[in-house]
Chain A
């Protein structure tokens, strides 16, 4: 069975199958003679529903961790106040200057390179790569990013895909300052969208709209073309498809795992000692998120470039995706949950309910025959 070949349909970026992940038979199967009481006893279903109301593993993935203020006693309080003053009145303006400077340098180099070097594609590409890495370093500096990179740096090679867990858009900036990755990302509105469609497009980034089915097909095609290209920038995919709070990992979309390319896992773990790097896009805009980072002491994080993985013989892309998710989760100390992150934007498909209904109906009918 050659599972290496991408599936016949379009590359299925976001139609994963929760059934493949969920443990089956969550309700213990009763046996014996069916009585009226058994039919009327809907307690297992009710218990499941109440359990979900009281606590559920899905919403936990997207819960921001409230900051723990340490200004709780009279000695610490003045210190804390001074900290606030330093952060907002000294650090923040300094960082704004650094970022502005970065942009000035970047734009004054990027525009000439982009316009003047039209003939010399190879050199232009190389310079643009360096410049994008540069501006990302400025971004990281603007929140005093203390990033430790572990493992060998990525190299440019065809037929490889980098996949990482996703906490915030700054993941991308942190990875990009070391290597000019071409990234697959959701199209964003506002100034981020403008950057996406101008500068980042030049490093080969691919944008799509989560909700557009047509976009998905185009992305799938572009992905395959990109992976084949020899001197394209290495491809970076966040297969969760949405930001998770860095305590959990949600299901990996299988798109990245059925390209027939080597998958290089990257694990990112933020230290929340100064600031929670989780971008809760429901609650704040990316600008507010950046401001929050820029007024904190520092963003501390670890990045691990892990052992490249290949599809094993007989392994399906989903199993492969789960194996890679395992590797990343273990390294970054994240808990795995069997949820599709896109459920943040849509309701679960009726087929999950139908599966439960089928189980119920079959059990009832069988017990009826048993008598």
Chain B
């Protein structure tokens, strides 16, 4: 065992840890590295979209296409940084920031009505009509004191979530 992990030196691990704000333990990083190498089948140094989709549980996810844009082609450091929002140690704002980034598909730091509709569309597919989606969203926006034209910054998202802790925890298997 451990061919892959032995390639990570203490320095490498510390560097990765720093990059993800120490949200993962050293052992977790070793595990994640093994997983990274397993998914990166021909050792390119990144995981392609196709390789991510070869995991059926991921391919079945309604948000997989959207997430792919965020994770495909990441090197190991950024891969870990992406996953760090799912660490048990991540703070609510860190988690909300990731959620915000999923909505903000053009990465301009702002989320508009349209962005929200698109995510809603991914999540509900053909089981809600366009009209239903717009109605639901408009109504909820209005109740929360916003309008269709409002744009949201990360700080607005944090306010909307009202410091509630989104349940986003993934355990990294450590052997």
Binding site for B on A (CB under 8 A): 34-37, 39-59, 63, 66, 68, 339, 343, 347-348, 352-354, 356-358, 360-362, 364-365, 368
- Beyond A354-B127, A356-B62, A361-B127, list 7 extra A-B contacts (CB 8 Å): A36-B141, A43-B99, A46-B67, A49-B67, A50-B83, A54-B83, A54-B86
Sorted nearest first, the 5 A-B pairs with minimum C-beta distance are A357-B125, A361-B127, A52-B57, A43-B166, A361-B124
Assembled-state Cα–Cα distance A87/B103 (Å): 59
Q: Could you jot down 7 A-B contacts, CB within 8 Å?
A: A43-B166, A45-B62, A46-B98, A54-B32, A59-B38, A358-B127, A360-B123
Q: Are A47 and B125 interface neighbours, CB within 8 A?
A: no
Q: Are A356 and B60 interface neighbours, CB within 8 A?
A: yes
Contacts known (A34-B140, A50-B83, A54-B32); A354 close to B125, Cβ less than 8 A: yes
Q: Are B116 and A54 interface neighbours, CB within 8 A?
A: no
Contacts known (A347-B53, A361-B128, A364-B136); A52 close to B123, Cβ less than 8 A: no
Which of chain A's residues has its CB closest to B167's CB?
A43
Q: Are A343 and B56 interface neighbours, CB within 8 A?
A: yes
Assembled-state Cα–Cα distance A356/B61 (Å): 8
- With an 8 A cutoff between CB atoms, is B107 at the interface? no
Residues of A within 8 A of B168 (CB): 43, 46-47, 50
Q: Are A56 and B58 interface neighbours, CB within 8 A?
A: yes
Residues of B within 8 A of A354 (CB): 125-127
Which of chain B's residues has its CB closest to A347's CB?
B59
The contact of A53 among B55, B119, B162, by CB within 8 Å, is B55
Cβ of A150 to closest chain B Cβ, rounded Å: 31
- With an 8 A cutoff between CB atoms, is B52 at the interface? yes
Contacts known (A36-B143, A37-B161, A53-B83); A42 close to B102, Cβ less than 8 A: yes
Assembled-state Cα–Cα distance A368/B135 (Å): 11
Residues of B within 8 A of A68 (CB): 1
Find the residue from B32, B95, B125, B139 having the highest chain A CB count within 10 A: B125
Which of chain B's residues has its CB closest to A358's CB?
B127
Cβ of B68 to closest chain A Cβ, rounded Å: 10
List residues 110-128 of chain B with CB under 8 A from any CB of chain A. 116, 119-120, 123-128
- With an 8 A cutoff between CB atoms, is B63 at the interface? yes
The contact of A357 among B59, B98, B124, by CB within 8 Å, is B124
- With an 8 A cutoff between CB atoms, is B8 at the interface? no
Contacts known (A39-B137, A43-B167, A343-B56); A360 close to B124, Cβ less than 8 A: yes
Q: Are A348 and B128 interface neighbours, CB within 8 A?
A: no
